[in-house]
Amino acid sequence: MQSTQSLFENLRKDFPILQRTVRDNKPLVYLDNASTTQKPNQVIDSISNYYQNHNANIHRAVYALAEESTEVYEAARDKIANFINIKNRQELIFVRGTTEAINLVAYAWGRPFIKEGDIIVTTEYEHHSNIVPWQLLTQEKGAKLEYIGMDDNGELILDDLDKYLATGKVKLVTFSLMSNVLGTISDVEKIIEKCKAVGVLTLIDGAQAVPHMKVDIEKLGCDFFAFSGHKMLGPTGIGVLWVRKSVLETMSPFHGGGDMIREVHKYETTWNDLPYKFEAGTPNIADVVGFGAAIDYLTKIGMDNVRAHEIELTKYALEKLSEVKGLHIYGTKDISKRGGVISFNFADVHPHDVAQIVDGEGVAIRSGHHCAQVLMERLNVAATSRASFYIYNTKEEIDVLINSLNKVAKVFKL
Amino acid sequence: MSNADIYHEMIVDYSRNPVNYGKIEDHDVTFHDSNPLCGDSIDIDLKIADNKVTDIKFHGKGCAICMACSSVLTEITKGKNLEEVRKIEKNDILSELGLEHLQAVRIKCALLSLKVLKSALYTYLADHLDDSQDIDKLKEDAASLY
């Protein structure tokens, strides 16, 4: 058996894009994994193979291809369910991504159940996809949206949650398991315990967490859970919404159309069984298959190994970045409370300028508000630079980042 | 042109020490806009007398490119009559800073302040003139900047 170190060294060859160069022949150093990850051959090939050999619409026709297509689509559902310990496959709905998943909940659960005066609680470090759908819903219903604040260490202030729960008006608490800007891992056990004690439903945005650590839905005890395939080696345009069955059964449909129906008459329709009631229209079959291949890939590595690798990289990066004069890192330094996402600002240089100069050295980092303007306001900055890691990143690549930051210092005379 | 070459002396200096930075409390018109993709945000205040821009100041948050272009824009604009301001084009700004070949994703950083200036101008004209054709033309100009 190969050591975990050689496992991580060897897997780079599975990613064709990592072999290319950018900007005057510089090797690509891809550090924007919180945004989207690169895809291994195993995922790319599974999609080609599907189109080359099995393509047909699912759940309808009786011929061989349709049967195969349905089989590979449903097999991916089982793989994903197994990956995050979903016991009942009927609770796993395929959507375009985390954004669509949360909008589905806001529409299909929120519209029937949220009334005037109700409160929905989110947090200051959410992605816009876990803020805007709730603004739309609460504005429409005359309900209120409240925020759990964040302390200067980048951790949630759970006293705020107590305060809102004490009003007796909270219907949903929605939060990300890991912040896409600070990498903070939320104290999920405490939040869910508090909500459960007063019978309040919880939604977890798992987009940043599922790709990077072992997640067990049963153990978490939330009611809604959303994540995306493309942040975990899978293709874009495919994600998952999980809803506890007792809640899912009370929800109205989201999109109306084919496949979500049992019987359609001129003026009334009855709904298909779960989860198909929420999967209207021809789904993104090929990318579901690709997502399944990504799950196979990660399962083979083991999520505990993934987490250990990223802790190693993050530790190293935090150490090296701390040595860069004038560089300010946001969020907690406690490695057990954060993932491999590091946001920083470099003296008075704007993040776009930082990103542009390091790009000249082949380093892809993100700059901007990271779809988290509420958090930017809280940090009192317009933007940050962000480096985020995944299984194929190496310490040598972090050294390249550090060297390219020295170039920034030179240009801006820091 | 390599990425770092964009950041020549002038850009870095302007970004550190922007010209005409601040507010005009008794402005005749003010306008704000931001770049939804990157969060750059610029306000421009204008003082207008006898159909001329007698004073202009800008403030906001942005990258070095955005700040340098805003500075240059205010320098170009000050003292011009409104017809001349209207005729300011993107290349007037970009060429001043040697940014003619700026990559597409950064063009918005460079031209945000020009968009804000044109929008301020049509806001002013809308309040002070009644030739709606003029205003539509200006709106078009501003919208077609990038």
- Beta strand A170-176 with A201-205 is parallel
Closest Cα of chain B to A410: distance in Å? 10
What pLDDT band is residue A354 in, cutting at 50, 70 and 90? Answer: very high
**pLDDT at position B1, please?**
56
Give the Cβ contact number of residue A118 at 10 Å: 18
What pLDDT is stored for residue B130 in this prediction? 61
CB-based contact A222:A247 (threshold 8 Å): no
**What is residue A317's predicted lDDT score, i.e. its pLDDT?**
98
Q: Supply φ then ψ for residue A286, to 5 degrees.
A: -60, -40
With beta carbons less than 8 A apart as the criterion, state whether A119 and A171 touch.
yes
Instruction: Tell me the two tokens of residue A102.
Output: 């949360």
- The sheet with strand B52-61 has its strands ordered as B29-34, B41-49, B52-61
Say what the pLDDT of residue B132 is: 60
The pLDDT of A241-269, averaged and rounded, is 94
CB contact under 8 Å between A349 and B106, yes or no, is no
**Mean per-residue pLDDT for A312-322?**
97
What is the per-residue pLDDT across A358-412, written as a single tens digit (0 to 9) for each? 999 999 999 999 999 999 999 999 899 999 999 999 999 999 999 999 999 999 9
Active centre residues of A (catalytic): 371
pLDDT of A1 > 60? The answer is no
- How many domains is chain B partitioned into structurally? 1
ipTM for this model: 0.76
Q: Is pLDDT above 70 for A103?
A: yes
pLDDT at B127: 83
Give A345→chain B minimum CA distance, Å: 12
pLDDT the model gives residue A334? 94
- Residue A338 and residue A317 in contact, taking contact as beta carbons nearer than 8 Å: no
The band of A2, judged by pLDDT with boundaries at 50, 70 and 90, is: low
Residues of B in contact with A369 (CB under 8 A): 38-39
Say if residue A340 is exposed, middle or buried (CB neighbours under 10 Å; 0-12, 13-18, 19+).
buried
The distance of A368 to chain B (nearest Cα, Å) reads 5
- pLDDT tens per residue, range A107-164: 999 999 999 999 999 999 999 999 999 999 999 999 999 999 999 999 999 999 999 9
Query: Strand (E) positions, chain B?
Result: 29-34, 41-49, 52-61
Bridge partner residues of B107 (DSSP): none
* Length of chain A, in residues: 414
Q: What percent of chain A has pLDDT over 90?
A: 95
Kindly give the parts of chain B with pLDDT less than 70. Answer: 1-2, 129-134, 142, 145-146
Instruction: Give the model's pLDDT for residue B146.
Output: 64
A349 touches chain B (CB under 8 A): yes
Find tokens 């993932």 and name the residue: A339
- CB-based contact, A369 to chain B, within 8 Å: yes
Express as a percent the part of chain A with pLDDT over 70. 100
Cis-peptide into A275, omega within 30 deg: yes
Residues of B in contact with A373 (CB under 8 A): 39
The CB-based long-range contact list for A313-318 (8 Å cut-off, 24+ gap) reads A313/A340, A313/A389, A313/A393, A313/A394, A313/A395, A313/A398, A314/A183, A314/A338, A314/A339, A314/A340, A314/A342, A314/A389, A316/A395, A316/A398, A317/A342, A317/A387, A317/A389, A317/A398, A317/A401, A318/A342
pLDDT digits (tens, 9 = 90+) for A212-238: 999 999 999 999 999 999 999 999 999
| A351 at B interface, C-beta within 8 A | yes
Nearest-CA neighbor of A108 among A269, A252, A271, A279? A252
What is the residue range of B129's domain?
Answer: 3-143
Domains and CATH numbers, chain A: 4-30+303-411 (3.90.1150.10), 45-299 (3.40.640.10)
pLDDT-based confidence at residue A165 (cuts at 50, 70, 90): very high
* Per-residue pLDDT band at A353 (split at 50, 70, 90): very high
In chain B, count H helices and then E strands.
6, 3
pLDDT confidence of residue A355: 96
Q: What are phi and psi of A217, to 5 degrees?
A: -60, -40
Question: Looking at residue B36, what is its pLDDT?
Answer: 77
| CATH code of the domain covering residue B76 | 3.90.1010.10
CA distance A284 to A238: 7
Answer whether 0.80 is exceeded by the pTM: yes
Chain A environment of B3 (Cβ under 8 Å): 23, 356-357, 359-360
A316 touches chain B (CB under 8 A): no
Return the number of CB contacts < 8 Å for A and B. Answer: 58
DSSP A252: P
Query: pLDDT at residue A266 above 60?
Result: yes
pLDDT at position B35: 84
CA distance A109 to A147: 20
Question: CA A392, A394, A397: angle at the middle one, nearest 5?
Answer: 115
Query: Which range among A3-17, A79-93, A334-348, B17-31 shows the weakest confidence by mean pLDDT?
Result: A3-17
